[in-house]
Amino acid sequence: MKGVAPILGAVALLGLAPLVTSSNVVLNFLILVLLIALVGQGWNLLGGYGGQYSFGHAAFFGTGAYVTAILQTSYGINAWVGFCIGIVAGALIGAATGALSFRSGLKGSYFALVTLAFAEVLRIIASAAPITGAGVGTLIALDLRPGAFQFQSRAPFYWIILSLVAASLMIVRAIEESRFGAYLVALRENEDAAQALGVNTTAIKTIAMTISAAITAAGGCFYAQYFLFIDAGIAYGPWISIEALLAPIVGGVGTVFGPLLGSLVVKTLGELGKIAAGDAPGLDLVVYGCILILVVAVAPRGIAGILADRHRLPSPKASRRTSLERNNG
Amino acid sequence: MTGAVYALIALGLTLIYGVLHIINFAHGALLTAAMFAAFFAHKLLGLDPYIAAFFLTPLFFLLGYGLQRFIIGPAAHGEDRNVLLVTLGLAIVIQNALLYVFRADTRTVDLPYAFDVIDVGPASLAVPRVIAFIAVFAVALVLWLIMRRTDTGKAIRAVAKERLGAELSGIEVEHIYAVTFGLGTACLAIAACLLIPTYYVNPHVGDAFVLVSFTIVVLGGMGSVAGALIGGIFIGVVESLSGFYLGESLGQISIFVTFILVLLFRPAGLFGART
């Protein structure tokens, strides 16, 4: 398969980080970058390749996190098993919400709204139901054994999240090459035309949402194990839905490396903002919001788009014409 | 009674949707901003919220006009997906800037008449709520008159119906878009002034209203003014009843469930035609 070498190269390079530095601050930062890259890659599959913009990926992230945590605290199930079940649970939520929404023909803004509503319903349930610890949250007991998916140092966590990101890169790359990926891109570009050519768009979108949810849920499961604490606002809160879409949009929607690239840039800018103005609540999100507007305004195809344009500079005249055509179309 | 204010918020949203065909995700954040403005107008200038409404409404009209004309319009390049993202970005910026400046504290306004009641037959009604109820219908009437009787209103309806045709007959579409966005934002300023006497304000207060107003708009049919009014009152009743039977925290769920059900089964709204 083409395109595997860059993935392996990037992952190998990133894998060296814990050997170069043992600073917890740096590793913690890189772990968060990779976590958002993973969650964003889930969003990218559905939003970037399929053109279905979800504003509620928190639903999958939170389900993964809660299932992992609750299986351990309430049922005494091994963390690694809980991790796998968490991913499956997230995928099931994705399949269910996807089937419901797409069967009803929701697209565009309506789809964004309904995903947002699903995430909010789950958040309210989680903040009231006894099994999630309601408002108090869920705390996973400290048990520093690899068998319990807990480690003394941050390096193992780093390699685990890196391998999850690597797996997500490979999955998306494989989908890009596959017939399924071609269907997905086709329906993004023109759903009616894809349908007319015999693509079962509802089924394709639902499958894409299921895989997308599974990838994002893996991020949630990892979050629960890494921080050992979640509550309804963390797991199902809007912040993660925003991070999930921001990373791929900044990096370049519908590209394999977009979410990773975007996550790195967004997180770095967020940290710089904190250094510049002190760590105050809300400030990092103000920075994110500005980045989002600027990227959409100036570089709608993200960093990947800028890099691609540098290879073949289009004349300003040509680009103006296409924008006119789009307006009239 | 809360339903009436919901209806006003939804009115702004449905107006913007009806003409620009976009869902304004910044609606809730703009409401929060308006509520902070009303709060500080009272605290710093000693203005009664009902009087402040007359100053804040034109101010928010200009704000809305500017946002659409200089930020949303140019940034979106005319693509729906981009509009979604830009308004979401605006919502994040406004809400978190407020959080950064004012912190998460919840503030309330003390007004002498906030707990006054008047007796209407067997029921006692809180004065601020009666005022809100009447004001909302007055605003709806004014809006209706603007749309029906003025040239700008005519232009707005023309753009809503047939954008290209309106443009060819010499209507400046970007200007009309911005005016509509301004009108929608102005509705929020009025809603904020009606809410502040009996409600609290914090940087997240708009969240509670934004999905409710989305629900109303979807329920009443996107772009329908009458639908927004009826939907608003309906949702007000649903919320009161479910809050009563399910309790405070779970009560909110009924709104989201209504929302999801309507989206899934009647996306054109209860009164809209299915397309």
CA angle A59, A61, A62 (to 5 degrees): 65
Q: How far apart are CA B189 and CA A16, in angstroms?
A: 55
Query: Residue B88: its chain A contacts at CB < 8 A?
Result: 55, 242, 292
CB nearest to A124's CB, from B76, B81, B249:
B249
A306 touches chain B (CB under 8 A): no
A 55-84 near B (Cβ less than 8 A): 55
Tell me the pLDDT tens digit for each residue of B59-81: 999 998 988 888 888 887 777 77
Chain B: residue whose CA lies nearest to A291: B89
Q: How far apart are CA B69 and CA B187, in angstroms?
A: 18
CB contact under 8 A, B214 and A112: no
CB nearest to A326's CB, from B23, B78, B100:
B78
Burial class (CB in 10 A: 0-12, 13-18, 19+), B145: exposed
Q: How far apart are CA B69 and CA A163, in angstroms?
A: 46
Interface predicted TM-score (ipTM) of this complex, two decimals: 0.77
Give pLDDT tens digits along chain A (329 positions).
Answer: 677 888 888 888 888 888 887 788 888 899 999 999 999 999 999 998 998 999 899 999 999 999 999 998 888 888 899 999 999 999 999 999 999 988 888 877 788 888 988 998 898 888 887 777 777 778 887 777 787 788 888 888 999 999 999 999 999 999 999 999 999 999 998 888 998 888 899 999 999 999 999 999 999 999 999 998 888 888 888 888 888 998 998 888 888 898 999 999 888 888 887 777 666 677 777 888 888 888 888 877 888 888 887 776 554 444 444 444 444 43
Domain spans in chain A, listed from the N-terminal domain onward: 4-237
CB nearest to B99's CB, from A53, A242, A281:
A281
Total CB pairs under 8 A between chain A and B: 130
Phi-psi region of A278 (alpha: psi -120 to 50; beta: other; left: phi over 0): left
Chain A: residue whose CA lies nearest to B213: A113
Q: How far is B253 from chain A (nearest CA, A)?
A: 6
CB nearest to B256's CB, from A53, A112, A121:
A121
Domain spans in chain B, listed from the N-terminal domain onward: 2-206
Phi, psi of A281 (to 5 degrees): -65, 135
CB atoms within 10 A of CB B68: 27
Q: How far is A53 from chain B (nearest CA, A)?
A: 8
In order of A95, A169, A180, A188, A251, the CA distances from A257 in angstroms are 25, 7, 19, 19, 7
> Contacts for B247-250 with beta carbons within 8 Å, 24 or more apart?
B249/A124, B249/A127, B249/A128, B250/A124, B250/A128
CB atoms within 10 A of CB B33: 23
Q: Are the C-beta atoms of A225 and A272 separated by less than 8 Å?
A: no
Query: Residue A106: its chain B contacts at CB < 8 A?
Result: 263-264, 267
Burial class (CB in 10 A: 0-12, 13-18, 19+), A325: exposed
Rg of chain B in Å (alpha carbons): 18
Q: Are the C-beta atoms of B112 and A81 separated by less than 8 Å?
A: no
Chain B: residue whose CA lies nearest to A123: B253
Chain B: residue whose CA lies nearest to A325: B78
Q: How far is CA A31 from the centre of its chain?
A: 14
CB atoms within 10 A of CB B100: 17
CB nearest to A281's CB, from B23, B79, B100:
B100
Of how many residues is chain A composed?
Answer: 329
Q: Are the C-beta atoms of A252 and A305 separated by less than 8 Å?
A: yes
Of how many residues is chain B composed?
Answer: 275
CB contact under 8 A, B23 and A113: yes
According to DSSP H, which parts of B150-224 are helical? Answer: 151-161, 163-168, 173-195, 205-220
Q: Are the C-beta atoms of A253 and A301 separated by less than 8 Å?
A: yes
> What SS3 state is found at B77?
coil
> What SS3 state is found at A56?
coil
CB contact under 8 A, A113 and B263: yes
